[in-house]
Chains A and B, each alone.
Chain A
């Protein structure tokens, strides 16, 4: 049994120039000639394990604590009311969707500052 995608990578990692291979065990050189019987190719096929390399999955039982940093400051709406709307929209994005905490925090800060200035 051949895992074509994995074998393709294994052959290329072995320095063998190929145009592809299939699950029947055929391997083609760049001119599309069959080369599965060639000694170096046959050796890679013989060592081939069709099982995909397992991906390690880790489940964190505690919250992940990261340093407080912002890699790119998002552009905040100049209008405090619209900035608030954008913060709410960002906050209410569906479960599992990526949210910009920076956009929420900075937009909210802009809105609160405008209210503070008004009170003064």
Chain B
């Protein structure tokens, strides 16, 4: 892309005005869904969201190293995908995790931007988790132009055993990741 009179146009063909970006899921297909925001308009953008939630009842993980929550990298369960045309807005991403440990522990969920091991949340965690607690993560980031995945992460102080809950086998609880986006 380049600009002409302040308007984004195609480099080398400046009669072509830039309208937006999409990412393909196959040779002839793209997708705009709550788990795959692959379509991005430059003009008349509308607010939208992406969400994923792990359908696993629960799992254990008690290691002080960030990893994909439940080691799950499936789109729609452990992560969402999106495409950004121009990096000109903040994206807000939140994770919600519920966990338990019989020994007081510091735990957190987090947001991995194109990563399963690097956390980008600025505000997060639950200190002195005892029995049950909530370990949310909050992230604000200007995502660079291009394709991204937003991965839910988890970490736990290595004491006792930390149990994490996905849907807890009920319809009225769900851990997951939520991103405020535009399309």
User: Which residues of A line the B interface, CB within 8 A?
Assistant: 4-5, 8-9, 19-24, 26, 28, 30, 32, 34
Contact = CB atoms under 8 A, between A and B. Distances in A.
B41 interface: no
A23 B70 CA distance: 10
Interface in B41-61: 56-61
B115 interface: no
A19 B61 contact: yes
A30 to B, nearest CB: 7
Contact of B163 (A5, A19, A24, A32): A5
Top 3 closest pairs, chain A to chain B, by CB: A22-B59, A20-B61, A23-B57
Q: How large is the interface on B (under 10, 10 to 19, 20 to 34, 35 or more residues)?
A: 10 to 19
Interface of B: 56-63, 67, 70-71, 161, 163
Contacts of A8: 60, 161
A28 B71 contact: yes
A30 B63 contact: yes
Given A4-B57, A23-B57, A23-B58, 16 more contacts: A4-B58, A4-B60, A4-B163, A5-B58, A5-B163, A19-B62, A19-B67, A20-B59, A20-B71, A21-B59, A21-B60, A22-B57, A22-B58, A22-B70, A23-B56, A30-B63
